[in-house]
Structures are given as structure tokens and as C-alpha cells.
Structure 1
């Protein structure tokens, strides 16, 4: 699936470590897809995450089948081998993850050279020092304090996000401590979308069906 900036509008980031008691990951993802989520990132990290590689592969394949059903791209966080194994549409890497040149080279040499790449960039220094060759979009934040990521960078706020948007031509999706109600203020910075974890896991289906279309509309202007 070829990358388009509009894919970033409503961006679900999810792994088993993010689920609330009694939640099923596939059921949660399907509920968000039915509501209109435009992209899904599978991010399995931390001590509470799946540790067995075979189990992780099996779940990633089920997610790929599900997102394909809804014609929505699946992105795998950090693990390029897993992304290529399930034919994921994209891979997202952070500043401390695998080196960008190695990721891009591995993708180009694989059976899925069309796999797109997202990169986490939190400030202008990181942007200036990042190799953006082959990168399709940036994930920037945290916009607010967040408990979803133990190794999160310092909060950049709307001012930091705006500075990044103005410093690059790559589309940016904002992440970190944001909620459904932040759609209009984030859109006003020039960012292309809103990426969330907790907002999705805590939402009822009725809330998803209300807010996801609203978010998509906010970033379509």
C-alpha cells in the first residue's frame, strides 16, 4: 500500500501491554477500524508485552489480515523483520531503535520494497541529525505528559510541534498525551494527524463512532 499523508489522520498505536482488563486486542482494533481509524501501528514493548516471538508473529498476522479487510495500513513498531514477515504496509522506528539506513536497505532488498517508513522525531536537533532518506512521515511528541511510554522524550507542546512542522516538508503525526478533543488544536499546527493509545483503549464504541470521524474531518481541511 503506497503511503499517503491522509493515512495519518486518526492513528491507533496498540499492543497487548496497553489493554485494559478484559479487553481483546483484535476486538478493540476492529472497533476502531469500524469507526474510521486511518492507520494502525502494532507496538509490542515492555515487560507486560508478548515476549514469545511466535506468539507475536501470529498476532501481527491476524492484525494484518484485519487491517487488510478494512483497507487500512498496518505499521509495525521497530521490528523490521516482523514487518516484512507479515507483509506490513509500514514500519515505524524511534531515535533509539534500529539505524534508519539499515532499515531502509533491508526493506529495499526484501520481497516488500514498497514498505513505507515512519520515524520518531521530538525536536529540531533530532530532526537536523536524522537521516530522512526513505522516510515517509514523522511521529512527533510527546505533546503532553504521557504514561503510555516509559522512555518518552520531554514534552514539546504545541509550540514544539509547530516548529517541527515548519522545519520539514514531511507530514507529521502528533503523539503523546493527546486525546480526541485535541483534534482542532493539533490540526491548527499544520500536523497531519493524531496518534493515540490510551484515548482508544478507554473509549466506548459509541465514543469512537463520534470522535474518529470528527478527527478525520479536522485533518482533511
Structure 2
């Protein structure tokens, strides 16, 4: 199991000047064992600007992860391909766009370990979209679940993650305008809940009011060091 995790939000819908931002999602995940880029926003120029501003060295990245093929999650991979040709990107379905950008997409259908103590949920479908999410096992605390847009349902993703790796420590990413019932389920399963991207202001507000001790505010440039002390 990894001993520590550092989450750095490269882009989120919520701005944080002087960093650039737009509608999209990208998060840099660093552990004591490996480094992974999760999703890559919409715009290559925003990825380039924020990666440089945040001091991220792409040459240290071991692999990348694409949650699903929507432009606000894969558009910035065009820049990544220029800097890290041949970088492996774990994807939920075949598409030639990443190959066109000199990346190496690897299709993952079922749940499997992609890096040490890092597991994909395997493909889940919802709203006509194939999507997978990342689960990382944090020693002594449970798992950290990173999601893209949660088209299959954030509640279903959390339940699948719990079935695969047990207790959940933190969930972060786009929850896709979840209902209060879905948020209640997520809060029941996870110690910390960090709605971002497409979660919506209503979801953020609901969590901040009803689950204040679990809620964490996320925006472009946010850094979360785990375990939280």
C-alpha cells in the first residue's frame, strides 16, 4: 500500500487566479511509489500553463488515466503527447485520438491493478458513456477514489470501489449533478468527500452544510496531502 498521496488539481471549473481554468478536469496524483496524471482538461494551452505554474515535471509521470472520452477530459492530452511521447494512458475504450497525439492508450475492460496499489474499477456505463475510475489503497486509512464525471452514478462508483478494496478514505472528482440521496450514500461510505468539476454548486453547498466535517473545497490549483492531519 502507498504511504502517502498528494493530489494536485491542474484544472477544475472553479477558478483560482493567476492559474488559468475552463470547464474541464485534470488532477496530478503523486505517491511514494508512482506518479499518475488523471484526465487532461479541455485545452492544451491551459494544461501547459498550469503544469508549468504548479512546477509539475511530466518526465516523472509513470502513466496517465483517462476516465472517459469527453473533450473536457482528454483535450489537453494533445500537449502531454508533445512532452511525453509514448506515455501509457489507461482508457475505458478504443479511440485513435490519443495515438494521433503520440500517446499509448491501453484499454482496460475489467477491474485490474495498473500501478502498485492502484486499481481501475473497470468499465462502468451510464448516460450512454463508458467510464472507469481510479482506486488507490492508502496504508492504514482506506482507499482514495478519483472520478471523472460519474456518468454511471457516483453512488454506484463508490459502492463498486468499496466492493473491490473495502473502506474508503476520500472521494474526489466530478459527481455529475448528483441528487442529495446520492451524496448521502457517498458520505456514508467515505471519510472525506471532495466534489469538483461537474458536481455543481448545489452539491458543494449540500455537502458543506450537511457534512461539514467530511467536505473539502476543490478548485484549480488545490493541493490535498493524504493522510489529512
TM-score range, shorter chain: 0.3 to 0.5
Task: Report which structure shows greater RCO (CA 8 Å, sep ≥6).
Answer: 1
Q: TM (normalized to structure 1)?
A: 0.39
Higher helix share: 1
Higher strand share: 2
Q: TM (normalized to structure 2)?
A: 0.38
